[in-house]
C-alpha cells in the first residue's frame, strides 16, 4: 500500500528541511521513499520551474497553466508510478498551493482552479497533508536570508491572503490536512510531523522507530 504525503505552507515555513528529515526516517524504517517537489520533480517540471521564477512579468493565468503543466507531467511520470509500486511519496507542495496562491493570493476563480487541478492530477489526492503554520512575517524573515523567487517577492498582503487560504483549506478538510506549529524550532516541527507520519506508516506495517 502506498502513502502520498504533501507538505504545504507559506514562504520559509520549513517544508524543504522537514521533507528531508521525514524521508530519512521513513527510509530507515524500510519504506521505499520518493522525495519530490512542485513545481519540479521531472526534467520538464524543472524547466518550467526555472521559467516560472526567472521571468519577471507573468500573467496570472499563464502562471496557473505553467504550474499545472508541471503538475500533469509530475503526476504522470513520478507520482502515479510511485503509487502503483507502493512507495511512500513525500512531495513539497501540490494542489493546495494552487488554491492558496492562485485562488486566495491572486484572486482567481477557485472552482475553476479545483477543476483544473483535478484534470492535471487525474483525481489523485494526498492521503496526508502537513500544513506548516508559521506567521507570515516570521516565514518571510527566514526566507530573506535565502534566495527569494518571484512569488516570494510579492507583498506581505499577498502572503497574508495565502496564509488565510491555507487556514481555510485545513478547516475544510481536517482529516487530510493537519496543521503543525512551524514557529517552533525545527526539531520540534520534525517530531510533531513524524508522529503523524509514523502513525500512517505503522498502519502499513513499516518500522517507525529508527
Ligand atoms: N507555488 C504556487 O504559487 N502555486 C503552486 O501551485 C505551487 C507553488 C506548486 C516556490 O515554491 C513558489 O511556488 C512558492 C509558491 C509557489 N512561492 N512562494 N512563496 P517552493 O516551495 O519552491 O519555495 P518556497 O516555499 O518559497 O520555499 P522556501 O522559502 O525555501 O521555504 P521552505 O521550503 O518552506 O523552507 P526551508 O527551505 O526548509 O527553510 C527556509 C529557511 O528557514 C532555511 O534557512 C531553514 O534553515 C530555516 N528554517 C526552517 N525551519 C525552521 C525552524 N523551524 N526554525 C528556524 N529556522 C527554520
Cα–Cα distance measured from residue 109 to residue 112, given in angstroms and rounded to the nearest whole number: 5
Fold of the domain built from segment(s) 3-203? Rossmann fold (3.40.50)
Domain ranges in the chain are 3-203
Peptide bond just before 206 cis, omega within 30 deg: no
Q: Is the CB of 192 under 6 A from ligand 1?
A: no
Does the predicted model carry a pTM greater than 0.85?
Answer: yes
Q: Is the CB of 151 under 6 A from ligand 1?
A: yes
Give pLDDT tens digits for 53-76: 887 789 999 999 999 999 999 999
Q: And the C-alpha cell for 140?
A: 518571510
Ligand 1: centre distance to CA 209 (Å): 28
Bridge partners (DSSP) of residue 91 are 6, 36
Atom of ligand 1 nearest to the CA of 189: 53
Ligand 1: centre distance to CA 13 (Å): 6
Contacts 24+ apart (CB under 8 A), 189-195: 189/14, 189/18, 189/132, 190/18, 190/21, 190/22, 193/18, 193/22, 193/130, 194/21, 194/22, 194/25
The answer to which of 41-50, 145-154, 177-186 has the lowest mean pLDDT is: 145-154
Average pLDDT over residues 115-143: 96
Give pLDDT tens digits for 180-192: 999 999 999 999 9
Amino acid at each position: 500500500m502506498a502513502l502520498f504525503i504533501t507538505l504545504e505552507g507559506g514562504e520559509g515555513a520549513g517544508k524543504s528541511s522537514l521533507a528531508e528529515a521525514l524521508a530519512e526516517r521513513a527510509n530507515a524504517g524500510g519504506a521505499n521513499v520518493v522525495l519530490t517537489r512542485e513545481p519540479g520533480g521531472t526534467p520538464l517540471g524543472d524547466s518550467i520551474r526555472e521559467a516560472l521564477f526567472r521571468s519577471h512579468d507573468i500573467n496570472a493565468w499563464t502562471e496557473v497553466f505553467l504550474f499545472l503543466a508541471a503538475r500533469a507531467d509530475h503526476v504522470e511520470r513520478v507520482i502515479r508510478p510511485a503509487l502503483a509500486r507502493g512507495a511512500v511519496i513525500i512531495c513539497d507542495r501540490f494542489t493546495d498551493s494552487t488554491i492558496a496562491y492562485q485562488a486566495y493570493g491572486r484572486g482567481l476563480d477557485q472552482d475553476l482552479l479545483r477543476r483544473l487541478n483535478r484534470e492535471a492530477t487525474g483525481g489523485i489526492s494526498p492521503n496526508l497533508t502537513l500544513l506548516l503554520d508559521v506567521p507570515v512575517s516570521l516565514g518571510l524573515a527566514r526566507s530573506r536570508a535565502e534566495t527569494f523567487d518571484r512569488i516570494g517577492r510579492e507583498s506581505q498582503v499577498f502572503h497574508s491572503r495565502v496564509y488565510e487560504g491555507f487556514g481555510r483549506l485545513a478547516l475544510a478538510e481536517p482529516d487530510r490536512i493537519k496543521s503543525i506549529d512551524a514557529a517552533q524550532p525545527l526539531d520540534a516541527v520534525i517530531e510533531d510531523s513524524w508522529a503523524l507520519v509514523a502513525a500512517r506508516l505503522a498502519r502499513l506495517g513499516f518500522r517507525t522507530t529508527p
